[in-house]
Amino acid sequence: MVRMGRESRLLLIVGTFGPTSAALLLTGMEGGWEYLYTLLEQLWVWRVSVFWYLFSFLGTAVVAMAALGIHMVLGGEIPQFNDPRQLYLVIPILAYVLFLSVLGEEMGWRGYALPRLQKKLNALAASLIIGVVWGIWHLPQFWMKGNFHQEIPLSLFVMQSIALSVVMTWLYNSTQSLLIVHLFHAASNTTLGILPILPMDTGGELRPLWIAVGLLWAVAIVIVIVHGPTMLSHKKG
């Protein structure tokens, strides 16, 4: 895709499923169908507190709206929001992101890599490692003509990935649900696509996104302070 010099939606989708494909292959090699079933059944862990659903669907939206508010208080222009009558489009966009993007990643990052890293390292260290790898894994998209990553500094994107990784470790460790992790990731990507916070929607202005990433780091730091770097879990013990 990089050599093509432009974005190919089909190839991008195929490439996105690399982490999940690797996780399924490695899990199958390690323990056969029994291990695969154990991994896949985490996608059906849905009986968790309503708090986790609310956080998953709305957490990033709250951060983004706060960032836009701070941006305006600092003298930034009022952003151009989408027509509220098109709010119904959130559902198909979320479904598209969930099934054709996030589903290809999270089984690898939080389903396979995170539990294994946490056997050797504390939860915070595991989160930081995955965050860096996760961010750098997107590197080819920064050279794809027409891809929104080209308008974002790599350093900013990696910082965002690290903060999100800490938050997602907390979600996973607290619920043991890959479903919740998938929903959070999908809702986060959908939020960035709908709210006017990316440079393509702000006339090239990066400040709203920098503020949002700063707020994400604040959330991650609070989680570490409250729940501790060892477990990063709402559950005790």
Q: What span, in angstroms and rounded, lies between the C-alpha atoms of 217 and 131?
A: 12
Say what the pLDDT of residue 144 is.
80
> DSSP code of 78?
P
Say what the pLDDT of residue 4 is.
42
What's the mean pLDDT in 167-174? 98
63 alpha-carbon distance from chain centroid: 14
**Whole-number average pLDDT of the chain:** 92
Residue 35 confidence (pLDDT) above 90: yes
Integer CA distances (angstroms), 227 to 115, 221, 233, in order:
18, 10, 6
What's the mean pLDDT in 109-136? 98
What's the mean pLDDT in 162-188? 98
Say what the pLDDT of residue 1 is.
40
Q: What span, in angstroms and rounded, lies between the C-alpha atoms of 169 and 94?
A: 21
pTM of the model: 0.93
